[in-house]
């Protein structure tokens, strides 16, 4: 394993990465230099040319990935690990029904650590084989099970924010913390144990805890205030759900009738961005006021097109979000989404944007491939730091994709090969994966 841990080296192959939403950079059979886990540059040739590699890197070992595509690792900005076991089931329900009938009873089982261990083994070993390198992931309300999830993700090399969920109202007894105090105490316990495991080297420095109030209907005002205060004190990030479906929003407005909109409930607790970095899943039906709050706070939007379709929630207006310069990444939202593939999320994002264009607003032109690729890499990556591109000083996360299964009588350039890999990832093979320069697959 020593070789795999080496963090200064060179990868050779067909390199593709985003520089901005509209700009895809490609380089055939080029050299990607990794120094101490970070990108030091992409060079067309080894020497004697304009874009040649500087001499100082000449002695680094080169891993040649042949004709494969080398892209930044994909970032999954929103998913639920305990829902992995039943992905693709119960897809004939809308959000609130689906939570009560499918999700909550199943998540309650994670009180038992042996059940969690089996389920999270499946989850992590399957995710390991995807092109995903970073994720913002929900556990359950159970501290011990969620710590186990964090350890397993760490062992598999992932970069991740892992959240113990908070829920102190509107959930069945088996999946509800008795009150705000109990929920807060459990969270403190989670954070303390997380820090201890890190100090023991049992959780890597790429895996972090994140505050995870499930959504407003599940969290009392008192709990939200305490969590917001904790986030500010300890510099913790926050993940939650926002304006996913119309029924959910109506419910929130009923529960919090003195608030002007859903987002304001998070803002009141200091969880809509600055100074607390936060990621909100969905934002399908955000009002202009809520969008302005997102913009001001620098809140990340986790766009989850497949889940929003499966639960008949709707289509998030992503063209508008990109035009407004908001931070937008992609989420699989397992198991509102059935697919664990962020490639699929890219394709879904493009597809639903075409239906939005057709049925909602013809002035919002559909997303392009390069925009979807940007969101899946650089857009979501920014939540994790300098992640999601091969620009200098970015952490070197890379997925090496063998696309020979997409053979054709036609010759294709690199951008075309990427487009096909995005639409047909099941016909490609992950040949290798690197996270912060380390080979993890």
Binding residues for its own copies, rule: CB under 8 A, are: 85-89, 91-92, 106, 115, 118-119, 122, 306, 309-310, 312-315, 338-339, 350-352, 354-355, 357-360, 366, 368-369, 406-410, 412, 416, 419-420, 422-426
198/423 with CB nearer its own copies: 423
Smallest distance, Å, CB 421 to its own copies?
Answer: 8
Buried residues in 373-403 as b, exposed as e (16+ CB within 10 A): bbbbbbbbbbbbeebbbbbeebbbbbbbbbb
Smallest distance, Å, CB 427 to its own copies?
Answer: 8
106/333 with CB nearer its own copies: 106
Smallest distance, Å, CB 7 to its own copies?
Answer: 33
Smallest distance, Å, CB 424 to its own copies?
Answer: 6
83/166 with CB nearer its own copies: 83
48/92 with CB nearer its own copies: 92
- In this structure, are residues 190 and 143 in contact, taking their beta carbons and an 8 Å threshold? yes
Smallest distance, Å, CB 367 to its own copies?
Answer: 9
For 213, the 3-state DSSP assignment is: strand
23/426 with CB nearer its own copies: 426
- Dihedrals phi, psi of 91, to nearest 5 degrees: -80, 5
Pinpoint the alpha helices (H) of 339-413. 342-359, 369-374, 380-381
Residues with Cβ < 8 Å from 428, sequence gap 6 or more?
401, 402, 403, 405, 406, 421
- In this structure, are residues 207 and 154 in contact, taking their beta carbons and an 8 Å threshold? yes
Residues with Cβ < 8 Å from 250, sequence gap 6 or more?
none
50/407 with CB nearer its own copies: 407
Residues facing residue 33 across a β-bridge: 10, 41
- How crowded is the C-beta side of 14, counted as CA atoms within 13 Å? 16
Smallest distance, Å, CB 236 to its own copies?
Answer: 30
């Amino acid at each position: 394993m020593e070789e795999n841990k080496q963090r200064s080296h060179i990868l050779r192959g067909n390199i593709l990465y985003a520089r901005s939403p509209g700009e895809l950079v490609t380089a055939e059979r080029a050299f990607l230099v990794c120094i101490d886990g970070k990108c030091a540059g992409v060079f067309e040739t080894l020497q004697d040319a304009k874009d040649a590699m500087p001499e100082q890197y000449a002695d680094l070992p080169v891993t040649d990935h042949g004709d494969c595509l080398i892209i930044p690792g994909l970032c999954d900005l929103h998913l639920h690990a305990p829902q992995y076991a039943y992905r693709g089931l119960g897809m004939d329900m809308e959000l609130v029904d689906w939570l009560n009938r499918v999700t909550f009873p199943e998540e309650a089982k994670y009180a038992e650590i042996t059940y969690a261990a089996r389920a999270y083994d499946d989850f992590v070993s399957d995710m390991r084989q995807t092109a995903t390198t970073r994720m913002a992931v929900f556990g359950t309300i159970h501290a011990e099970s969620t710590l186990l999830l964090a350890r397993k993700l760490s062992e598999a090399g992932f970069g991740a924010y892992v959240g113990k969920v908070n829920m102190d109202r509107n959930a069945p007894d088996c999946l509800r913390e008795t009150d705000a105090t109990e929920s807060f105490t459990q969270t403190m316990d989670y954070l303390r144990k997380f820090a201890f495991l890190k100090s023991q080297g049992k959780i890597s420095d790429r895996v972090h805890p994140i505050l995870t109030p499930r959504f407003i209907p599940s969290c009392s005002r008192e709990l939200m205030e305490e969590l917001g205060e904790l986030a500010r004190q300890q510099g913790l990030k926050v993940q939650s759900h926002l304006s996913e479906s119309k029924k959910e929003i109506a419910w929130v407005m009923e529960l919090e009738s003195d608030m002007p909109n859903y987002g304001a409930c998070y803002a009141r607790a200091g969880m809509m961005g600055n100074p607390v970095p936060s990621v909100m899943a969905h934002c399908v039906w955000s009002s202009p006021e809520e969008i302005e709050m997102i913009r001001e706070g620098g809140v990340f939007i986790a766009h989850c097109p497949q889940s929003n379709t499966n639960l008949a929630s709707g289509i998030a207006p992503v063209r508008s979000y990109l035009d407004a310069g908001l931070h937008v990444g992609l989420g699989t939202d397992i198991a509102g989404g059935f697919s664990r593939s962020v490639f699929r999320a890219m394709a879904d994002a493009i597809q639903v944007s075409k239906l939005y264009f057709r049925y909602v607003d013809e002035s919002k032109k559909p997303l392009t491939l390069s925009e979807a690729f940007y969101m899946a890499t650089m857009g979501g990556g920014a939540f994790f730091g300098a992640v999601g591109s091969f620009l200098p000083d970015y952490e070197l996360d890379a997925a090496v994709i063998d696309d020979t299964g997409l053979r054709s009588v036609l010759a294709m350039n690199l951008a075309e090969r990427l487009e096909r890999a995005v639409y047909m990832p099941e016909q490609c093979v992950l040949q290798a994966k690197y996270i912060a320069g380390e080979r993890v697959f």
